[in-house]
A and B are shown apart, each in its own frame.
Chain A
């Protein structure tokens, strides 16, 4: 652990000082402002709309941080050969990957905490202005939804580390991570759709397509599991067993991705 901390800390510092973070925070502030404007246009549902939009903003800006700051943190080490500096120390390849990932996780947690506080400030402001329309509302659901967004971003970041371990450029890692995000968000819906009876669908799905979707279902992270914005905005209860299983799924996916990345990285050369 003592060797991981310096790697994690410099990764975090390099990430948090990146100018892109300021730009993304500015985007978040604008979107929170838009939340206030849009929510007040729908007075009866102002509570639901404000929670949904605020959480969507946190999720979207978090995604930007993973894609445009996080991927660079790892990929720049390879592109610019900064990795020589790190690997010339008494650090093994797996330690480098784990340390770097811990730093990235710290960055996601800190930036998401700040963005979540801003989201809560926006919700509080609207709640004060429109208290009558916030009858079905719980902070507990919002905080839980926030935590699952953070976990989803950490899962996505772990997957991006896996891609960076075998690709040769940051651009390919970025593209693969975006594809994973899109597939991960739509997996549940597509699987449910193709598994519906043909009479309901109106067409039959070929066995090949069925197998492809099922393979993708087990291969790609099911990111839609982590999305409980709808429940949070409607103050619906979420079963604790669901939350527990989702968290375990996320942790297992992270451990597998990082272990595989470390394994690939052991034999990677930096000529």
Chain B
């Protein structure tokens, strides 16, 4: 469903515009109906990968496809729901208007948007705030409104960049329950996190990325074999990357 082929990307850093390697030869394939957790420390390249998938930045080399379509083709995003890290929406719009926008741009008719909005607004617990401008929302509420928008057109692929970031325990549980629900519906989910427990709870398969290089990709079962927990596996990969860099 999602294919990433030998993607490399350099980004400019700071005022000097010094180029740093954000991704190096990234290869990844995520199958339909799979929940893939993308794990890595801050600045490892998780968000860069997601931004390439959403065509917000372009790869220097390689290509990415979603549902067999190149991500640079807007049609590829018809089947995708995306929630950015720390989303920021239009200050003076309401959740209802945001969902209308999401639905219309995905080609939905007004009746379907209205029906689906009612379900999603209830699901993310924003019934009492749906008519209020988004600038009056707390960070967690904005995150929940963003999640509803990502799902308004019932996408086959859901891409979430740090979906639990900034949420309180209730919000985290709600997003977690939604991930399980989406998994039950057979959706393909690609989510990034640096919270090991989230990856362990929701993923079928996980990839560990460090310094722009994919260090390990495997099923959770294989990663955790031999009585290790994900923290052990992750720390071992970090140590090996640092050792490799030092050598």
| Chain A residues packing against B (C-beta within 8 Å) | 2-3, 5-7, 9-10, 13-14, 17-18, 80-82, 84-85, 87-92, 95, 267, 269-271
Contacts and interface: CB of A to CB of B under 8 A. Distances in A.
Contact of B106 (A5, A18, A85, A89): A89
Given A84-B54, A88-B54, A10 B90 contact: yes
Given A82-B88, A84-B56, 11 more contacts: A6-B100, A6-B101, A10-B101, A17-B92, A82-B90, A84-B87, A85-B98, A89-B102, A92-B74, A95-B74, A271-B56
Contacts, number: 83
A88 B80 contact: yes
Nearest to A80: B88
A269 B58 contact: yes
A8 to B, nearest CB: 11
Interface residues of B, number: 35
Contact of A89 (B48, B57, B77, B90): B77
Given A14-B91, A17-B92, A18-B92, A87 B104 contact: no
22 contacts: A2-B104, A7-B105, A10-B101, A13-B93, A13-B97, A14-B90, A14-B93, A84-B54, A84-B56, A84-B82, A85-B146, A88-B80, A89-B101, A89-B105, A90-B74, A90-B105, A90-B106, A91-B105, A270-B51, A270-B56, A271-B11, A271-B51
Contacts of B105: 3, 6-7, 89-91
- Classify the secondary structure of A's interface with B: loop
Contact of B84 (A88, A92, A271): A88
B29 interface: no
Contacts of A91: 74, 77, 105
B41 interface: no
Nearest to B79: A90
Given A6-B100, A10-B97, A89-B106, A271 B77 contact: no
